[in-house]
């Protein structure tokens, strides 16, 4: 933490004098670090409670993703129950990236007050947001406004659950567990969004006209009651998580797990100067932000995109579910592999985005089967969407670790906050255009392979470095 932006307690050294890195060790180049004399063994220690902290944070991210994606998978049912328009559906998804506008305030809070205060504030915002959606009112106009307000408050929780995973892994986990912890903490938010694809369509029936009663007032009331059941369940889960976090969520362990966790970081202001002046960071940040922002917006309205090709709401939900679940599983596996075989992050990203480019092209051309004459079946749609989700979602923790390694000693929360802000900015721009061109979505599909190809080229030109890992290896030996 920067001394100008931290409390007196946080400015105290985490390691005993003489046991940590030499003064300024985290700031030296590789050549300078290699010239350092052999240091004493690192006193880094890991605690079993780190898994409980990781579990609480991951479940919080899961709940935030679940609440954010409540309406996309059941947009047809929500239209009938609450009178939502196409603009309303898009805006409900758009509140997620809008919630990232005060992202830098949350990064400042994380840098100054630490993890516990930031997580408590985040969970409290989620309690308010989910509770606001459950207020029983008969006026549909007022109900829609309450739902929009609740989605906005939940969106404000996004900066923490999306940005703080590398900060948590560095604070609590050793160097050979960091990537795995980052993957678990960051992937659970996406898994929550995936479960929304599953829970919503299975609990709430779609008004697809297959049953005569769906058009009646009784059917509308029945759908509305089931939607409110989902809202109450989400509210209860978020309240339980807030209570658990309030009861136990320590800001950091008694002793740091690694030399990097104990070393001094740049201040809040100097961090931004370092990030904005680092061309390599800006290159890899765009490689992350553009395709992941496009994919997030595309996933949020997947039901709307697949409707013209006669895919039902339930099938769209299953496609979205398995694409994100597959990405979470592969992402954690890739991160574990990166912990064992260090220095391979760029190669892993090249392989993942090569697959993402091919699978997104396959999906786009399949949707244009009247021109390409490719078979448009449930199998091909499932396969192309799931592969796309696997390749893109599994790249997220690898990107996060590469960001931190590239710009170390910039604090992890600030680094990841900048890139997720950019990603949500691209997502918001696309959803904004979607509100005006929602009747023609073929352009949205073409954004996917274009963004993946651009990211692949940027990764190819990127020169990787592992400054944080190098510090741990050199000083700990």
Top CATH class of 47-258 equals: mainly alpha
Q: What is the pLDDT of residues 273-305, one digit of tens each?
A: 888 889 999 999 999 988 988 887 777 667 677
- Mean pLDDT of the region 18-30: 40
Has residue 17 got a pLDDT over 90? Answer: no
pLDDT band with cut points at 50, 70 and 90 for residue 321 = confident
Task: For 326-335, write each residue's pLDDT tens digit.
Answer: 888 888 998 8
| pLDDT value of residue 125 | 96
Q: pLDDT confidence of 477, banded at 50, 70, 90?
A: low
Write the burial class of residue 307 (CB in 10 Å: 0-12 exposed, 13-18 middle, 19+ buried).
middle
Instruction: pLDDT band for 9, please (50, 70, 90 cuts).
Output: very low
Ordered DSSP codes for 200-242: HHHHSPP--SSSGGGGSHHHHHHHHHHHHHHHHHHHHHHHHHH
Buried b / exposed e across 244-278, counting CB within 10 Å, b at 16+?
bbeeebbebbeebbbbbbbbbbbbbeebbebbeee
pLDDT given for residue 461 in this prediction: 92
Handedness of CA 390, 345, 338, 104 (dihedral sign): negative
- What is the chain's mean pLDDT, rounded? 81
- For residue 24, which phi and psi values (nearest 5 degrees)? 80, 5
Which residue has better confidence, 358 or 1?
Answer: 358
User: What does the pLDDT read at residue 441?
Assistant: 60
pLDDT beyond 60 at 13: no
Tens digits of per-residue pLDDT, 428-466?
A: 777 677 666 555 566 677 888 899 999 999 999 999 888
Task: Give the start-to-end residue ranges of the domains of the chain.
Answer: 47-258, 266-472
Instruction: Give the pTM.
Output: 0.80
- Given this model, what pLDDT does residue 208 score? 55
Fold of 266-472: Growth Hormone; Chain: A; (1.20.1250)
> What pLDDT is stored for residue 295 in this prediction?
84
Confidence of residue 313 (pLDDT cuts 50, 70, 90): low
C-alpha closest to that of 205 among 67, 76, 69: 76
Query: Percentage of the chain with pLDDT > 90?
Result: 28
pLDDT tens sequence across 59-86: 999 999 999 988 877 888 888 888 888 7
So what's the pLDDT on residue 231?
Answer: 93
Residue 10 pLDDT > 60: no
H and E: helices and strands count for the chain: 23, 0
- Whether residue 161 has pLDDT greater than 80: yes
Q: Report in angstroms the alpha-carbon separations of 134 from 124, 149, 347, 450.
A: 16, 11, 47, 40
Higher pLDDT, 40 or 174: 174
Is the pLDDT at 314 greater than 50, yes or no?
yes
pLDDT, mean of residues 149-173: 92
Which tens digit of pLDDT belongs to each residue from 340-367? 887 789 999 999 999 999 998 988 888 7
């Amino acid at each position: 933490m920067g001394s100008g932006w931290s409390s007196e307690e946080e400015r105290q050294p985490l390691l005993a004098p003489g046991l940590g890195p030499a003064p300024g060790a985290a700031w030296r180049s590789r050549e300078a670090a290699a010239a350092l004399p052999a240091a004493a063994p690192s006193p880094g220690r890991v605690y079993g409670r780190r898994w409980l902290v990781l579990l609480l944070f991951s479940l919080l991210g899961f709940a935030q993703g679940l609440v954010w994606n409540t309406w996309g998978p059941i947009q047809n049912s929500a239209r009938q129950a609450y009178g939502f328009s196409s603009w309303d559906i898009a805006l409900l998804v758009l509140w997620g990236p809008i919630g990232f506008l005060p992202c830098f305030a949350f990064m400042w809070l994380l840098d100054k007050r630490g993890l516990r205060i930031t997580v408590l504030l985040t969970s409290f915002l989620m309690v308010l947001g989910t509770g606001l959606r459950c207020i029983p009112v008969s006026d549909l106009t007022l109900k829609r406004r309450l739902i929009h307000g609740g989605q906005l408050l939940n969106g404000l929780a996004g900066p923490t659950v999306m940005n703080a995973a590398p900060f948590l892994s560095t604070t609590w986990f050793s160097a050979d567990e960091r990537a795995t912890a980052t993957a678990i903490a960051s992937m659970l938010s996406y898994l929550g969004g995936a479960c929304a694809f599953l829970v919503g369509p299975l609990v709430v029936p779609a008004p697809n006209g297959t049953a005569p009663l769906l058009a009646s007032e009784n059917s509308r009331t029945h759908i509305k009651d089931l939607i409110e059941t989902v809202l109450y369940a989400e509210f209860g889960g978020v309240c339980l998580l807030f209570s658990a976090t309030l009861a136990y969520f320590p800001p950091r362990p008694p002793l740091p797990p690694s030399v990097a966790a104990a070393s001094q970081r740049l201040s809040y202001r100097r961090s931004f100067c370092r990030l904005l002046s680092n061309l390599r960071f800006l290159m890899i940040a765009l490689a992350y932000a553009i395709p992941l922002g496009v994919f997030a917006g595309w996933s949020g309205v997947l039901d709307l995109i697949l409707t013209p090709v006669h895919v039902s709401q339930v099938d769209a939900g299953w496609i979205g579910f398995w694409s994100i679940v597959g990405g979470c599983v592969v992402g954690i596996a890739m991160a574990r592999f990166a912990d064992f075989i260090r220095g391979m992050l760029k190669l892993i990203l090249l392989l993942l985005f090569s697959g993402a480019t091919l699978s997104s092209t396959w999906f786009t051309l399949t949707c244009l089967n009247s021109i390409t004459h490719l078979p448009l079946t449930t199998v091909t749609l499932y396969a192309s969407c799931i592969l796309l989700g696997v390749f893109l979602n599994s790249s997220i923790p690898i990107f996060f670790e590469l960001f931190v390694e590239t710009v170390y000693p910039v604090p992890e929360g600030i680094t990841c906050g900048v890139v997720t802000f950019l990603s949500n900015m691209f997502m918001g721009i696309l959803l904004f255009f979607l509100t005006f061109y929602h009747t023609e979505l073929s352009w949205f599909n073409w954004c996917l392979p274009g963004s993946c190809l651009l990211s692949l080229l940027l990764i190819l030109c990127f020169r990787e470095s592992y400054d944080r890992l190098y510090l741990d290896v050199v000083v700990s030996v």
